[in-house]
Structure 1
Amino acid sequence: MAPKKNVGGPKGKGPAKKTSAKRPLPPNESSSGEDDVSAEELNALMARMEKFERERGLSTREAGPRPARRASRKLIFKNLLSRMSVLEASRTAVRRDGEEPEQPEPSREEQGPTAPSVDQPQAARDQAVADQSAPSALTDAAPAISRPQLESPEVRPETIATSLALAPAYPVRAAPSEAPAVSGSVSVGQPSVQASVVDGPSTSSDGAIQAAGTRRGRGSRTHARPSLEGWSDETALGMSLALAPSSRKSYIRAVQEFLDFRQQYNLPGVMPVPYEQLAQFCVYNRRRGLAPQSIRAKLSALAYWFKAQGLSDPTDDFRIHKFLTGWSRQRGHPRDERQPMTPAIMKGLKQLWPRLCTSHYEQVLFHAAALTAFFGALRVSELVALSKSDTSHRALLISDIKVLHDSMEINIRASKTDQESKGQVFRLLKCSEEDLCPVMAMTQFTALRGSEKGYLFSHQDGKPLTKYQFWTITAKALDMLGLGHLKFGTHSFRIGAATAAAEMGYGDDEIKAIGRWRSGAFKGYVRSVSS
């Protein structure tokens, strides 16, 4: 009997198993650069994969002998690592050549850790190092980009008062389409920044640094730190009070004129203002007939406006100073044509008050005001209210006058040369001539006025005597005296005091004391009287 043909395995343990032929990789999937992948990298990647499967219970779900699975997986990982390394090397080369636009940086979650991990394969660590150096290579290869010049936004008229720190005295309504301007700040509509910090400072919407924490004193009491909210408004008020009311008004008017000038000639509204625009503004005012001194006053207003916004002062330019000096030499020093009041004119006014005033009270009011202005050498702002709405209270109050038997004391609380309100008291003596005696005129007036608080020179209904009312009636009286063709003004009383004192033989120091002058400026007030 023929022996049975062995159809089993090599040792006759059953039929031979069919072994599937190993499928080769397609040509497009064959690994290029497999020699670059080391055994250490594959072992490290395999170990991490096996650890991942053990932790999630995935290792028992895969059938087949462990060595076969490991060999198959190892081959897959080897090809995968090779392809990744080739791909990343190609992308890096393209980036460096500038042929591929820079891709947006991924988020922190997508990007992962920037530093290569120790557990990563060597190729991955090398690639991480290359990625970290890639930005410098991209910067070197990228073309230069010209950044636009940063310019301040166009300044609109509604922000003038705020930038001049004049909001408390001269509020300006903002345009409906614009964000409200922060008082005392150049910037308009800044976004609010809030920070919540325990026991630390926080920033409010106006930039104020506020204390968010508290401190404990003795015992268990908690003392809150003083709030700094609204600090910008407080500093703006301080800057506003640093200027005289008349200066604030003239500064706002000058700045508005400059903005209108730029709009009229279609000049760009950039800040800081270039030299060319300031020079053109000066020429514009000169051709309008303004004197160089008046142009300098407008430039002073603009300089204050620039500095109040924290900008440099473009008016302090060598060229501006020089051509203004040249214009002044060409024009010459203008002569002050204002005429001084004299004792003879004061007597004539006394005779005309009854014809111009409607009541006895008004006659006594104007006579006392005129004699006080003349003998006290007062400025009109120190004498009467500038307007019906004047709230500066720089004019004389009833509390500033103390009438004695043969003299009276006057307290000037603040003036043009005393912005800090240190005050100065002087005395006027009684005069033997009744029509020119300020003490007798004041005694008669205060008896009619009473001791009610408020402005000293006020009407019978309590309303203040204003600058316009006082000078309008005085100018009519001068015209009736035949002096209307001469140039008189409210400063003629102060000029007349210096002129009369010089004619009576007073020395320079005595004249300076009468008008409270601190320098030799009084000499410009002493002049001859025109007939």
Structure 2
Amino acid sequence: MAGPYHNPPLPNLRISPIVIVPKKEVDGYRIIHHLSYPDEVSSAETRSQNQTDTSAQKSVAYLKSEAFALIKASVSSNTQHTYAAALRSFDKFRHNHKIPLIWPVPVDDILCYIASMSRKAFASSTIAQHLSALGRHHKINSWSDPTENLLVRKCMQGYRNSAALVSTPDARHPITIDMLKRLPSALQAICMSGYEACLFAAMFNLAFFAFLWIGEIAFVTKMNQDRTLKLADVGIIAQAVHVKICFSKNDQHGKGTTLIIPGKSNPTIRPVRSLSVYLSLRSAQPGQFFIHLNGKAVTRYQFSAVLRNALQFLNFHTQNYNTRSFRIGAATYAATQGIPHELLCIWGRWKSAAYAKYIRINML
């Protein structure tokens, strides 16, 4: 390479010195280019390069981990739990039928799984949920989605068509205004203390007049405990109950909404007074709004059990009622009062015509 140069002509240019070294076989010396000179610098550069490579690998691994965490967060925690349960159910099905546990899943395996759920009379919505979990698992792993195969879609369409011919109507009855009036006296008879009677009376009234889902007022799972109504979310302002719903079934991103229950919602039941009495007895402990005297949150199981016992005390057939009966009752009552459908959707936080399924005037 012709020179001289004031600056290195190439990046990372390395110049090896000319040195004299002893010959191995005979006496004397020979001239060489010392290509590994200096040894210490060479080793240091190698170590530095290795450290740089390792650091880069760790950085990429961290970024991949962060990306997968963001993908996971694209669905709600409840949906994650549901999908995980669906994948476990599918693997159990394959294990029981000695089907290889391979991914991506062959279309034939999906068809057999649908057939298995069909024989167990699963609801078409439940089967669709399982397929949604399988489809998402394939997509996030960059695999071809077998649930979008034509045969799978036709199989599901056939199941929906056959299920529609034998489907039975939802037998859940609405909690009526008359029942809501009578429930407090039943609670006084079945509950262990006056505090517990006031607690569940307030829960029943709020569930009805605020069109609440059970997961919004009672502890269901550890995954939803942060989304249950808190003490700071409820207040009584100008003789009206203000309830802030931070998360709900139709609001998974936490935009939140505030519900207002006027003091004159129903003069015979007086839901505002019921909430006021409960608040006067409740401790100032922060956290879940509805708690027992020992500070523990009311669970869905406890809510259901007390409702069932109270209805039995009043001689109602308990198999016709569950936690959603309050929401059904609220929608039905609003419809009988001539509330416009647009306003009813706002109160119940419905985003579609699904509200119509909750109106059951024929069951009053």
TM over 0.5: yes
Q: Give the counterpart of 1:375 among 191, 199, 209.
A: 209
Q: Give the counterpart of 1:413 among 217, 241, 246.
A: 246
- Structure 2 residue 226 is matched with structure 1 residue 399: no
Structure with greater helix share of residues: 2
Distance of aligned partners of 1:391 and 1:382 in 2 relative to their CA distance in 1, 3 Å threshold: closer
User: Which residue of 2 is the match for residue 349 of structure 1?
Assistant: 183
- Structure 2 residue 157 is matched with structure 1 residue 325: yes
User: Which residue of 1 is the match for residue 20 of structure 2?
Assistant: none
Deviates more, 1:347-356 or 1:307-316: 307-316
User: Which residue of 2 is the match for residue 456 of structure 1?
Assistant: 289
Q: Give the counterpart of 1:385 among 219, 227, 234.
A: 219
Contact 2:308–2:318 (CA<8 Å) still a contact in 1?
no
Distance in 1 (alpha carbons) for counterparts of 2:293 and 2:73: 32
Offset at 1:309?
2.8
Distance in 2 (alpha carbons) for counterparts of 1:243 and 1:375: 29
After superposition, where does 1:81-160 map in structure 2 within 5 Å? Answer: none
Offset at 1:492?
1.3
Offset at 1:392?
3.6
Distance of aligned partners of 1:310 and 1:336 in 2 relative to their CA distance in 1, 3 Å threshold: same
Which amino acid in structure 2 is aligned with residue 202 of structure 1? Answer: A
Which amino acid in structure 2 is aligned with residue 381 of structure 1? Answer: G
Distance in 1 (alpha carbons) for counterparts of 2:122 and 2:53: 60
Contact 2:111–2:155 (CA<8 Å) still a contact in 1?
no
Distance of aligned partners of 1:291 and 1:519 in 2 relative to their CA distance in 1, 3 Å threshold: closer
After superposition, where does 1:179-328 map in structure 2 within 5 Å? Answer: 196=50, 202-204=56-58, 208-209=59-60, 230-328=62-160
Distance in 2 (alpha carbons) for counterparts of 1:432 and 1:201: 64
Which amino acid in structure 2 is aligned with residue 314 of structure 1? Answer: P
Identity over aligned pairs, percent: 28
After superposition, where does 1:8-27 map in structure 2 within 5 Å? Answer: none
Where do 5+ consecutive residues of structure 1 fail to align?
Answer: 1-55, 59-193, 210-228
Which amino acid in structure 2 is aligned with residue 337 of structure 1? Answer: A
State the Cα deviation string for residues 117-169 of structure 1 (Å, max 9, x = none): xxxxxxxxxxxxxxxxxxxxxxxxxxxxxxxxxxxxxxxxxxxxxxxxxxxxx
Distance in 2 (alpha carbons) for counterparts of 1:245 and 1:360: 36
Q: Give the counterpart of 1:520 among 350, 353, 363.
A: 353
Where do 5+ consecutive residues of structure 2 fail to align?
Answer: 1-24, 28-47
Distance of aligned partners of 1:488 and 1:319 in 2 relative to their CA distance in 1, 3 Å threshold: same
- Structure 2 residue 302 is matched with structure 1 residue 469: yes
Offset at 1:452?
2.3
Q: TM-score, normalised by structure 2?
A: 0.81
Distance of aligned partners of 1:422 and 1:195 in 2 relative to their CA distance in 1, 3 Å threshold: farther
User: Which residue of 2 is the match for residue 140 of structure 1?
Assistant: none
Distance in 1 (alpha carbons) for counterparts of 2:96 and 2:162: 29
Q: Considering Cα pairs closer than 8 Å and 6+ residues apart, tell me whether 1 or 2 has the greater RCO.
A: 2
Distance of aligned partners of 1:458 and 1:279 in 2 relative to their CA distance in 1, 3 Å threshold: same
Q: TM-score, normalised by structure 1?
A: 0.56
Distance in 2 (alpha carbons) for counterparts of 1:199 and 1:245: 36
Contact 1:262–1:269 (CA<8 Å) still a contact in 2?
yes
Contact 2:78–2:223 (CA<8 Å) still a contact in 1?
no
Contact 1:340–1:499 (CA<8 Å) still a contact in 2?
yes
Which amino acid in structure 2 is aligned with residue 450 of structure 1? Answer: S
Contact 2:87–2:133 (CA<8 Å) still a contact in 1?
yes
User: Which residue of 2 is the match for residue 429 of structure 1?
Assistant: 262
Offset at 1:501?
0.4
Distance in 2 (alpha carbons) for counterparts of 1:303 and 1:465: 36
Distance of aligned partners of 1:433 and 1:416 in 2 relative to their CA distance in 1, 3 Å threshold: closer
User: Which residue of 2 is the match for residue 484 of structure 1?
Assistant: 317
* Bigger Cα Rg: 1
After superposition, where does 1:16-55 map in structure 2 within 5 Å? Answer: none
Q: How many residues align?
A: 320
Offset at 1:237?
4.0
Distance in 2 (alpha carbons) for counterparts of 1:470 and 1:361: 15
Which amino acid in structure 1 is aligned with residue 116 of structure 2? Answer: Y
State the Cα deviation string for residues 232-264 of structure 1 (Å, max 9, x = none): 554444444433343233222211111111111
Distance in 2 (alpha carbons) for counterparts of 1:195 and 1:491: 64
Distance of aligned partners of 1:57 and 1:326 in 2 relative to their CA distance in 1, 3 Å threshold: closer
Which amino acid in structure 2 is aligned with residue 196 of structure 1? Answer: N
Offset at 1:461?
1.2
Offset at 1:230?
4.0
Tell me the secondary structure at the aligned position of residue 335 of structure 1: coil
Which amino acid in structure 1 is aligned with residue 252 of structure 2? Answer: Q
Distance in 1 (alpha carbons) for counterparts of 2:130 and 2:224: 25
Offset at 1:406?
1.6
Distance in 2 (alpha carbons) for counterparts of 1:474 and 1:435: 20
Offset at 1:270?
1.7
Contact 2:174–2:329 (CA<8 Å) still a contact in 1?
yes
Distance in 1 (alpha carbons) for counterparts of 2:287 and 2:66: 27
Distance in 2 (alpha carbons) for counterparts of 1:432 and 1:521: 24
Contact 2:78–2:224 (CA<8 Å) still a contact in 1?
no
Distance in 2 (alpha carbons) for counterparts of 1:257 and 1:434: 50
Offset at 1:306?
2.1
Distance of aligned partners of 1:278 and 1:480 in 2 relative to their CA distance in 1, 3 Å threshold: same
Offset at 1:325?
1.1
Deviates more, 1:368-377 or 1:230-239: 230-239
User: Which residue of 1 is the match for residue 199 of structure 2?
Assistant: 365
Which amino acid in structure 2 is aligned with residue 331 of structure 1? Answer: A
Deviates more, 1:503-512 or 1:335-344: 335-344
